[in-house]
Amino acid sequence: MRKVRVYHVDAFTKEQFGGNPAGVVLGADSLSMNEMQKVANELNLSETAFLYKTENAEADFRVRYFTPTNEINFCGHATIGLSWLLASNLGWTKKKDRIVLDTNIGLVPVKWHKDGELVTAVEMTQVAPKVNDFNIERSKIAEILGVHENDIDKRYPIKIANTGNWHLLIPIIDQKAIDAAKPNFEKLARLNQIHNVDTTHLFTFTPEEQEYDLYTRDFLPALGVNEDPVTGAANGALSGYLVLENILDPTIKHTLKIAQGHTMGRPGMLYVTVEPGKTHPIIKVAGSAVVTIEGTLNLQPSSSKENLALSESFHISR
| Residues 9 and 75: beta-carbon distance below 8 Å | no
Give the residues across from 6 on adjacent strands. Answer: 25, 295
CB environment 166-198: b (16+ within 10 A), e (fewer): bbbbbbbbebebbeebebebeebbebbeeeebb
| Residues 92 and 61: beta-carbon distance below 8 Å | no
Of 169, 91, 95, the closest CA to residue 130 belongs to 169
Cα→Cα distances 247→242, 250, 251, Å: 5, 8, 12
To the query of whether residue 47 is one of the catalytic residues in this protein, the response is yes
Beta strand extents in the chain (DSSP E only): 2-11, 20-25, 48-52, 61-66, 71-72, 98-103, 106-115, 118-125, 130-133, 159-162, 166-171, 199-205, 214-220, 225-228, 254-260, 268-275, 282-287, 289-299
**Who contacts 259 (Cβ-Cβ below 8 Å, separation ≥6)?**
206, 211, 212, 214, 215, 216, 267, 268, 269, 270
Distance CA 69, CA 79 (A): 19
Give the residues across from 38 on adjacent strands. Answer: none
Strand, coil or helix: 294: strand
Choose the catalytic residue: 15, 35, 42, 47: 47
- Give me the amino acid identity at 29: D
Distance CA 88, CA 118 (A): 8
Active site residue ranges: 47
